[in-house]
Amino acid sequence: MIPEGYAPLTSMGEGAIAKVIKCLDTRTGDFVALKILKDITDEEDIKRLGVEIESISRVRHPNIVTFITHGNVGDSPYVVMEWLEGETLRDLLEREETLSLRTLVDTVLQILNALEACHKKSIVHRDLKPENVMLTGPQGNQIKLIDFGMAKILLDGVDLTIDGQLFGTPQYLAPERITGSVKATEQTDIYSLGIMIYEMAAGFRPFDGDDAQTILKEHLTVRPKPLMSVTSGELANPILNQLVRRMMRQTPDQRPSATALLSEFRRLRHTLLGNKTR
């Protein structure tokens, strides 16, 4: 069933609990993305969609997918978001393997802008990975952070997180998510972004393999090779190497904030632009 006022055009994907449909908003003429639960059998599925709705409705930012409305069709909850034309960062990495240093820095700056906006609203994404970063816009270089279904929100001291289970993608999980020793904080997202930057520069993830348990153990016990040692040319940048090392520290409190990283990546971008003009 489709909510009144929306004409379905194309089914864009179907997961275990929800499907996403491209629709025409018949009142505005805009294309929208309708995400609707398929089958209400699990209260946690309903709660997860509720967390996503709460997250994206609380943060309005150019680098975060825009919330439009939500409701129920019969017993099925749904959320309507802006339609994003483009590809994911994963699509780009599969095609290009690595990014130029300038493209990498511009991409990271936009992700950090999105994270800073989320963190100021006490929202931790908790599932940062290239699949959840959309590249949109006429040039395909505007970043939109998507999929807040695993987000953590603290509202008036009430934790709306779905806890008690380990959600997320093993290759990008911060150590504290794996051990459960510390609840997810803003620095949890910073660790995941550090993994993503490593991948964008080196062409591979520092912790990977076919076995999830092995990957999780590596996060806790293995120190990845320095980025400088697995990159070449402009990507073997000592400043980038140092930033990634700090972002991937085992102890959350030792990782920089999104705001601090914005300043440092802007400084790196300024340096790159300066070198181009010489």
Q: Which residues are catalytic?
A: 127
Lookup: tokens for 186: 């803003």
Sheet holding 31-37, edge to edge: 6-14, 18-25, 31-37, 76-82, 67-73
Query: Residue 69, CB half-sphere, CA atoms under 13 Å: how many?
Result: 9
Print burial letters for 57-93: b (CB count within 10 Å at least 16), e (below 16). ebbebebbbbbbebeeeeebbbbbbebbeeebbeebb
**Count of CB atoms situated within 10 Å of the CB of 238:** 10
Burial class (CB in 10 A: 0-12, 13-18, 19+), 105: buried
Going by the DSSP 8-state scheme, the letter that residue 66 receives in this structure is P
Going by the DSSP 8-state scheme, the letter that residue 74 receives in this structure is T
The answer to whether 109 and 29 are in contact (CB under 8 A) is no
